[in-house]
Amino acid sequence: MRKDLKRIRVFVTDGYWRKTLAAVRALGRRGVRVTVGESTYLAPALFSRYCHCRVRTPSPVLQPSHYLDFLETYLKRHPHHVLMPMEEDTLLLLARNRERFQNITSLPCADHHHLLFARDKLKVLKQAEALDIPIPRTFEIDNMAEAKPLSKQVEYPVVVKPRVGSGSAGVQYVTEPAQLPAALEHVFRSGQSPLVQERLPSEGAGIGASFLLNQNHQVRATFIHRRLREYPVQGGPSTLRQSIIHEQARRDGARLLESLRLVGVGMVEFKIDSRDGTAKLLEVNPRFWGSLALAINT
């Protein structure tokens, strides 16, 4: 164990999530002194033997201004070398208010506008096309007047999803033209614009390419995994995974994240198109991923 790591103090947010527990264990085993913050005491990471200090914070979602005030005051009184946001809401809040923390700790994430860009599936897909990274056939739609013409244009089945979001939230599967208008209207009612994508054959595996990038937006570490099971089974978060080597996913994922000027961590999700064996881009998650423990323990 490196002796200098014992002097490092890291504040990790969002202690409720399993990925946070994985991060706390990994840091603690290296001798890093870890503080965990969460708005409830019923959070697994708070009970880890590697959690040096437990802090109950306001909710970054329900009380964002109080959360920022509390965290800024706490870090001024109790200096930490690194502030590590684990969940997307916390990440975006801290990145948007980076100036409040830049003189008291290190916040290893991209600028707020780069994070927003990376969360927008349409912008990311267009960026990927410019880099010659394969994507599923995708249609953007701006209003319901375009629904009927589009329903006759696409080949079924298709996937309807909001431009912003992760996992299976808001994702709908459409098998015939009559179903498409209702699926599109559902997304519009949520306040978002929908994307319509061809549904890749189910035989193709889902691939997650995870990366660590430095302050110069350069990839410094890579981990690739294949989904073996997921829930819901038609498409959702993975429940069983396997580490693999996949050169195309590594290469395309690295080029994409570097072009998006990300800092810290990010995951690129692909799905293998069983018709040609190509890994096609689905989305980018500019944050820690749920299966972080697999990357740490492999």
Structure tokens at 244: 């693999």
For residue 81, the 8-state DSSP code is: S
Q: 192 and 205, same structural domain?
A: no
Q: CATH number, domain at 176?
A: 3.30.1490.20
Q: CATH number, domain at 251?
A: 3.30.470.20
> In which band, very low, low, confident or very high, does the pLDDT at 265 lie, cut at 50, 70 and 90?
very high
Q: Is the pLDDT of residue 233 over 90?
A: no
Of the residues 154, 174, 196, which one is the last residue of a structural domain? 196
Q: Is the pLDDT of residue 169 over 90?
A: no
Percentage with pLDDT > 90 across the chain: 90
Q: 216 and 168, same structural domain?
A: no
> In which band, very low, low, confident or very high, does the pLDDT at 198 lie, cut at 50, 70 and 90?
very high
Q: 184 and 287, same structural domain?
A: no
pLDDT at res. 167: 66
Structure tokens at 192: 């978002």
Q: 237 and 288, same structural domain?
A: yes
Do residues 24 and 33 make contact, with C-beta atoms less than 8 angstroms apart? Answer: no
pLDDT at res. 236: 73
Q: 293 and 263, same structural domain?
A: yes
How far apart (Å, rounded) are the C-alpha atoms in residues 122 and 55?
38
pLDDT at res. 249: 99
Q: 206 and 121, same structural domain?
A: yes
> In which band, very low, low, confident or very high, does the pLDDT at 232 lie, cut at 50, 70 and 90?
confident
Mean pLDDT of the chain: 95
Q: Is the pLDDT of residue 105 over 70?
A: yes
Segments in the chain forming alpha helices (H): 18-29, 64-77, 88-96, 112-119, 121-130, 147-153, 180-189, 247-259, 292-297
Cis peptide before 157 (omega within 30 of 0): yes
Helix (H, G, I), strand (E, B) or coil at 263: coil
Q: 126 and 76, same structural domain?
A: no
How far apart (Å, rounded) are the C-alpha atoms in residues 235 and 265?
23
Q: 234 and 121, same structural domain?
A: yes
Report how far Cα 106 is from the mean position of its chain's Cα atoms.
20
Structure tokens at 33: 């002194």
pLDDT tens, residue by residue, 182-195: 999 999 999 999 99
How far apart (Å, rounded) are the C-alpha atoms in residues 116 and 13?
20
Q: 249 and 128, same structural domain?
A: yes
pLDDT tens, residue by residue, 124-158: 999 999 999 999 999 999 999 999 899 999 999 99
Of the residues 150, 170, 196, which one is the last residue of a structural domain? 196
How far apart (Å, rounded) are the C-alpha atoms in residues 275 and 214?
36
Q: 210 and 163, same structural domain?
A: no
Q: 63 and 41, same structural domain?
A: yes
pLDDT tens, residue by residue, 43-77: 999 999 999 999 999 999 999 999 999 999 999 99
For residue 87, the 8-state DSSP code is: S
The least confident of 35-49, 141-155, 165-179, 264-278 is 165-179
> In which band, very low, low, confident or very high, does the pLDDT at 237 lie, cut at 50, 70 and 90?
confident
Looking at the 3D structure of the chain, how many domains does it have?
A: 3
Helix (H, G, I), strand (E, B) or coil at 72: helix
> In which band, very low, low, confident or very high, does the pLDDT at 1 lie, cut at 50, 70 and 90?
very low
Range of the domain at 218: 115-134+201-297
Q: 273 and 233, same structural domain?
A: yes
Q: CATH number, domain at 104?
A: 3.40.50.20
User: Given strand 264-273, what is the order of strands in its sheet?
Assistant: 238-243, 219-230, 206-213, 264-273, 278-285
